[in-house]
């Protein structure tokens, strides 16, 4: 797993040792919700899916709790390689989200590394 900051984005790249990416079909405009109480249906809309190309790419907005309407853009791509699937994640738009959200950038970088690690562990377990 490699990651780093370049320009206005946070980048994380990893190779998942599986033959194909286990992506389910979906559609653009779907919502990401952080649910606080499932029975009451309360929570926070974290983002919206802006693009979905099954097995190739998913893109979505990502909103940090903070300034109203401040969000960044996340794009994840999947590429078949000899070892399995190369997953690339790039989060951009910090310069438009305001100083408060830009301050979360380092946390996002380590957080995405952790999330991609969970995905790789899950995909590896499913492959065996």
Span 66-100, pLDDT tens digits: 666 678 899 999 999 988 888 899 998 887 766 77
| CATH number of the domain within which 75 lies | 3.30.530.20
SS3 content of the chain, % helix, strand, coil (to 5): 25, 45, 30
Q: Which residues face 40 on adjacent strands?
A: none
Bigger pLDDT: 90 vs 120: 90
- Helix, strand, or coil (residue 106): helix
Bigger pLDDT: 29 vs 69: 29
Find out whether 4 and 13 touch, Cβ atoms under 8 Å: no
Bigger pLDDT: 112 vs 95: 112
In which domain, by residue range, is 26 found? 2-127
Q: What percent of the chain has pLDDT over 70?
A: 69
Counted domains in the chain: 1
The predicted structure's pLDDT at residue 10: 47
Is pLDDT above 60 for 118?
A: yes
Write down the pTM of the prediction: 0.69
| DSSP calls for 22-70 | -PPP--TT-EEEEEEETTTTEEEEEEEEEEEETTTEEEEEEE-SSSTT-
């Amino acid at each position: 797993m490699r990651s780093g900051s370049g320009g206005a984005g946070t980048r994380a790249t990893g190779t998942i040792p599986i033959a194909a990416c286990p992506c389910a079909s979906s559609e653009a405009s779907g919502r990401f919700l952080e649910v606080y109480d499932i029975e009451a249906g309360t929570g926070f809309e974290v983002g919206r899916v802006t693009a979905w190309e099954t097995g190739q790419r998913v893109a979505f907005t990502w909103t940090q709790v903070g300034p109203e309407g401040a969000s960044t853009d996340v794009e994840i791509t999947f590429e078949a390689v000899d070892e399995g699937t190369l997953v690339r994640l790039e989060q951009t738009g910090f310069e438009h989200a305001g100083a408060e959200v830009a301050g979360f950038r380092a946390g996002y970088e380590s957080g995405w590394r952790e999330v991609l690690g969970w995905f790789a562990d899950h995909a590896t377990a499913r492959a065996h």
